[in-house]
Amino acid sequence: MGQMLEALLKLQSVETQLSQVLSRLRSRENAVKAQQRKIDHLRIQYDQLHEHLIDKRKQADSLDLDLKEKEAQVAKFRTSLNTARTNKEYAAILTQINAFRADNARIEEVALQRMQEADEVARQVEELKGQITTEEATLQQVGEHSAAEIERLNVILADLQAKRDEAAAAVAPGGLAIFNRMAQQYDGEAMAVIETQGKKPPYSYTCGGCYMSLTAEHTNALQVADSVRTCDNCGRILYLDPAAQKT
Ligand SMILES: [Zn+2]
């Protein structure tokens, strides 16, 4: 294998490690973000439920107020029963009292129902509050663990970046430009080995990156020249397996 391809393979080896470290960094950061999103979602639920609770309590309170007013009316009617001058007047007041009583019984029932509903919502609110506390503790843990891990990974990253600069300096600018473009496109996998199929000629060849077939021309050229050849399909820089070349 020629000097340029060797330099490119060295660069590829560093690039592969770099993208692994970057992907671990991303997944650490995502773990924290995912936990935060979970808490945000619970908080929205909490706010909605809390509003619902206030609403139920307001309804119960207003019914209670209504009931008290109507009971005061009944008391007033009762007093006027004593001052009724005729049987007819007495009967009329009594009818009104009974109507209010029937009404009050109904209001009382609804008020009780609203109160029970409010209690149930209050229970759910408390449950959600506990859940948020638990998830916040988890966030704290995930955050602390991630911070230590992110710090460790950043040290490795800085070291790899220096190694990458060094390896990149050994590659000719034309080859490096293709390498960088492919590395960006394929998550750090800029190069692909040519895979040989068949026990004897004519062999068939495929790209180890995209698994599409390649013409024999690439292999033939790489056997004699140290050049940058790219896969016709995916564009990755092709190389021959050093181990296979010796045999
Ligand atoms: Zn390919």
Same-domain check for residues 40 and 122: yes
Same-domain check for residues 219 and 149: no
96 burial via Cβ count (<10 Å: 0-12, 13-18, 19+): middle
Spacing, Cα 77 to ligand 1 middle (Å): 96
Spacing, Cα 183 to ligand 1 middle (Å): 13
Spacing, Cα 208 to ligand 1 middle (Å): 7
Spacing, Cα 7 to ligand 1 middle (Å): 20
pLDDT at 246 over 60: no
- In terms of pTM, does the model score above 0.85? no
pLDDT above 70 as % of the chain? 98
d(CA 235, CA 207): 10
CATH of the domain at 163: 1.10.287.1490
pLDDT at 142 over 60: yes
Same-domain check for residues 131 and 51: yes
Spacing, Cα 204 to ligand 1 middle (Å): 14
Spacing, Cα 163 to ligand 1 middle (Å): 27
Q: Give me the chain's average pLDDT, please.
A: 94
**Domain span at 186:** 175-246
Same-domain check for residues 98 and 139: yes
| Domains of the chain: total | 2
Same-domain check for residues 26 and 143: yes
* Domain end (from 150, 170, 190): 170
d(CA 247, CA 244): 6
Same-domain check for residues 41 and 73: yes
Spacing, Cα 193 to ligand 1 middle (Å): 9
pLDDT at 247 over 70: no
* Domain end (from 151, 170, 189): 170
Cis, bond preceding 242 (omega within 30 deg of 0): no
Same-domain check for residues 185 and 147: no
Same-domain check for residues 9 and 106: yes
Confidence at residue 199, expressed as pLDDT on a 0 to 100 scale: 87
pLDDT in tens, 105-128: 999 999 999 999 999 999 999 999
Mean pLDDT of 29-35: 93
* Domain end (from 154, 170, 186): 170
d(CA 138, CA 223): 57
d(CA 156, CA 162): 10
Same-domain check for residues 97 and 127: yes
Same-domain check for residues 92 and 160: yes
Spacing, Cα 213 to ligand 1 middle (Å): 8
Spacing, Cα 189 to ligand 1 middle (Å): 11
Spacing, Cα 240 to ligand 1 middle (Å): 13
Spacing, Cα 15 to ligand 1 middle (Å): 18
d(CA 12, CA 237): 10
144 burial via Cβ count (<10 Å: 0-12, 13-18, 19+): exposed
| Phi and psi angles of residue 194, each rounded to the nearest 5 degrees, phi first | -85, 120
Same-domain check for residues 182 and 151: no
Spacing, Cα 17 to ligand 1 middle (Å): 21
Same-domain check for residues 43 and 164: yes
Mean pLDDT of 6-35: 95
Q: Which residues surround ligand 1, an ion (CB under 5 A)?
A: 207, 209-210, 231, 233-234
pLDDT in tens, 195-226: 999 988 889 999 999 999 999 999 999 999 99
